[in-house]
Amino acid sequence: MESIITKGQIQSLIDGLFLQPILKENSNIISLTSNELADISLKVSKHIRSEQSLDQLLENIISLLGNAGIAERVLLFQLNNDNIKALLTHYWESPYVPRFNPVGFELDLSDLPFLKIFSTNPKHSLQIEDISKYLVLPNYILKNKLKALFLKLKSKSLLVTTGSSENIKIVLNIQFCTRNIIWSNETEKVIQSVIDQLAGAIQSHSDKKKRENLQRNITELQEYAIKEQEELLRRFASDLHDLPCSIISNLKLAIKNKDLEECERLVNDIHNSLRQLINEYMIPDINLLGFVNTLYQFINGFKKTFKGNVIVELPDEEINIPHKKATELFKVIREWFCNIEKHSCADIVEFRLKKSNDYYFLITISDNGKGFDTSNTKSLGYGILNIKRRLLETNSKFEIKSEVNKGAVLKIQTATD
């Protein structure tokens, strides 16, 4: 069939797409009364103003159009951001027309020149009274995929309209399968108005969802901040009790016994304990210093109080990661070093930060201390559990290896995004 169509005939068919079809003797005009058209518009507006989900809203309006008697099949497509894919999201058909499975059905507009022709139409509306004559168009005009679709649906006449808003574009396809028809100008205008309203409704729902998500994120951050603050106060009270407060009772006894040498030693212990607490609970400005430089300064501070050897390997260049992730990783590293100083009895600590590639880096912290039994979850302190929680929240892969009297190793692999 393709070889017998001339260029002039092809151009004539294409030109005919943008003209109101000529009524044939066996054709019918779909024309509703002004009251019927007004009723459709009123019901559409009522649905849009009602409190219902976007999916239910679109489902109701597509059913409304189908039940109004203006079509035997109604298809609503939503286009993705680059207008290349059109996903069939809502579908209605009369019980006496051929059925097909619409779940997940989409059109690749980059592969359909026929729809590209339509997208250039400034009227945003297209009617085809007898689609069969276009099925013989060459494949470079009407792809086999689209021909097969029309044949499967047994489409005879169709009306296509598009609606768009700031970030939304949708296409409404109204079809008849049992006869050739055209839609009156008044009906076409109402359908165009409906699709424009739908595009606006989708945009409004999208904006509302973004606002709700933003508010939910703010609420979650507030709840998280309160939880973190409460946990920080709990830990601070516990650490204050374990370190300076435990020394004060001994200091009081030394003062009572007038043991000045012991008093001096205990005062120095209190001073070191308080400085250690300050370092543990103070979060540096990572945005100002950078992640690598923040770790460098922290480990240098650790060296001043640690009674052992600290081996450090850091990259020469900065590693740029989101501030929240950098803060959580810094808290993990600080917590691990704190555990080493408090509990490990180690005299060698190694810290290595290595970039695996442009997207991932690896952190390794090891010591030769007394270690712990990782299989005994009851013996793990809250600090270890807190470390695991933070690493999971940053989507980091990690491994904790330790045995009693064989030291401990923490490995963290995480992405830069």
Find the mean pLDDT for residues 292-296: 92
For the beta carbon of residue 284, count every other beta carbon within 10 angstroms: 16
Please tell me the pTM assigned to this model: 0.53
Token pair 């097909």 is found at 100
Domain positions in the chain are: 2-205, 284-417
Beta bridge partners of 398: 412
Residues 6+ apart with CB under 8 A from 18: 121, 123, 126
For the beta carbon of residue 258, count every other beta carbon within 10 angstroms: 8
- Sheet of 125-128: strand order equals 106-108, 85-93, 73-79, 169-176, 157-164, 125-128
* Vertex 319 angle, CA 314 and 322, to 5°: 135
Higher pLDDT, 373 or 413: 413
- Name the CATH superfamily for 2-205: GAF domain (3.30.450.40)
pLDDT of 209 reads: 85
pLDDT (tens digit per residue) in 189-208: 898 888 888 888 888 888 88
Fill in the DSSP letter of residue 25.
T
Residues 6+ apart with CB under 8 A from 326: 286, 291, 294
pLDDT (tens digit per residue) in 90-102: 889 888 887 776 6
Q: Which ranges in 54-142 belong to alpha helices (H)? A: 54-67, 113-119
Of 70, 69, 73, which is closest to residue 105 (Cα–Cα)? 73
Architecture of domain 284-417: 2-Layer Sandwich (3.30)
pLDDT (tens digit per residue) in 105-126: 777 766 655 555 455 455 567 7
